[in-house]
């Protein structure tokens, strides 16, 4: 929205989530050209992120990648895929850091009928120790950097081919 270039965070966010949102915006700002955004995309604008109050306070170091993708979607005007879950904290350099509670997050994805989950590459080792039924039916994709998520969250548009069928001319006598 129109504004003074600031980031406003409201709702049920703890300090860690606020830091994740700030880090996500800083990373996007410093890499605007890479994301095909104008370098001054924030000039005259304000970003407001609101996470509604729910039963569970949201304050853990695992939302940086999700906030980054949400911001990229809003700033680029590209809709994000709505059938992919992701987890992982980020650094100002775009690294995706490991998280805790991977089993619970994968089970939550399954409960919500999500089949593809992006996880931090460093959490790949946790998959070996996990019960097979937790992973069953999930496509789990380890990622190292913010950019690794982009092809999954913003898949390239498929080219539609239109077949032209010529009607044959038949003569009736």
Return the bridge partners of 85, or none: 117
Cα within 13 Å of Cα(154), Cβ side = 18
Task: Convert the pLDDT of each residue in 55-108 to its tens digit.
Answer: 455 556 788 999 999 999 999 999 999 999 999 999 999 999 999 999 999 999
Set 18, 26, 30, 105: catalytic member:
105
Check residue 173 and give its pLDDT: 46
Pick from 162, 113, 104, 158: nearest CA to 138: 113
Set 20, 62, 68, 110: catalytic member:
62
Does domain 7-51+58-153 match CATH 3.30.470.20?
A: no
- 62 part of the active site: yes
Question: Rounded CA gap, 96 and 119, in Å?
Answer: 9
Sign for the pseudo-dihedral over CA of 155, 157, 159, 160:
positive
Predicted model pTM: 0.84
């Amino acid at each position: 929205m129109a504004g003074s270039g600031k980031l406003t965070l409201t709702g049920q966010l703890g300090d860690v989530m606020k830091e994740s949102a700030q880090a996500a915006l800083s990373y996007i700002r410093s890499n605007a050209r890479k994301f095909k955004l104008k370098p001054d995309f924030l000039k005259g604008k304000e970003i407001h992120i609101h996470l509604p109050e729910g039963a569970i306070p949201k304050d853990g170091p695992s939302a940086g990648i999700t906030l980054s993708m949400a911001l990229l979607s809003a700033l680029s005007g590209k809709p994000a895929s709505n059938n992919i879950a992701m987890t992982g904290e980020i650094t100002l350099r775009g690294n995706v850091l490991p998280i805790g509670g991977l089993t619970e997050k994968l089970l939550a994805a399954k409960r919500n009928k999500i089949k593809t989950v992006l996880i931090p590459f460093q959490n790949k080792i946790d998959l070996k120790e996990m019960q097979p039924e937790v992973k069953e039916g999930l496509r789990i994709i380890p990622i190292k950097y913010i950019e690794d998520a982009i092809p999954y969250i913003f898949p390239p548009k498929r080219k539609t081919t239109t077949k032209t069928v010529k009607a044959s001319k038949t003569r009736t006598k």
